[in-house]
Amino acid sequence: MAFSRKAGFAVMLAAVTAFSAGAHAEGLAGTYRGHVTLLFSDRHVETGGMVLKLSEQDGALAGTAGPSADAQSPVTNLSAGRQLQFDTGKDSDRPLHYELQRFGAQWRGDVVGKSQGHAVMGRATLLRDPD
């Protein structure tokens, strides 16, 4: 069975992309602290602290998030690659989705969701605690 150059390149690109996503996930375990600013559809703004704790379990990334290190809830739909994406508050009245990109030592990005019946959008900035 012969592969065309184009098919061979596609297979190679898929393998590199899969390896790259795994490589991005590796080394992300740790505690990240920062802040989140949310703009609600009724035009009020909330700013607060955020702590994200990531761990590696059996090669998979898992995590918790909350306003402090002591007040944590599990995150869902966690993925790492070019972006760090996750959801918080899945079973609450405040489900939020985060899409963060790395900028040097920081993760920064957008937050969207709902809170108490209002649409919410905002920004989050997190910095990893020193080991």
Contact by Cβ (8 Å): 108, 125? yes
CATH at residue 20: 2.40.128.20
Domain count within the chain: 1
What residues pair up with 5 in beta bridges, in sequence order? none
pTM of the model: 0.77
Spatial contact of 53 and 64, defined as CB atoms under 8 Å apart: yes
Q: What is the pLDDT of residues 58-88, one digit of tens each?
A: 888 999 999 999 999 999 999 998 899 999 9
Domain that holds residue 103: 5-128
Average pLDDT value for residue range 90-116 = 93
Q: For residue 58, give every residue at least 6 positions away whose Cβ sits within 8 Å of its Cβ, in sequence order, or none.
A: none
- How far is residue 35's CA from residue 45's CA, in Å, rounded to a whole number? 13
Structure tokens belonging to residue 123? 């920004």
Distance, CA of 110 to CA of 36 (rounded, Å): 9
d(CA 16, CA 95): 33
pLDDT band at 122 (very low <50, low <70, confident <90, very high): very high
d(CA 41, CA 58): 40
Torsion angle of the four alpha carbons 54, 92, 111, 44, in this order, in degrees rounded to the nearest 10:
-140
Secondary structure string (H, E, C) spanning 114-127:
EECCEEEEEEEEEE
Tens-digit pLDDT profile for residues 11-61: 333 333 333 334 345 588 999 999 999 999 999 999 999 999 999 988 889
Answer whether residue 105 shows pLDDT above 90. Answer: no
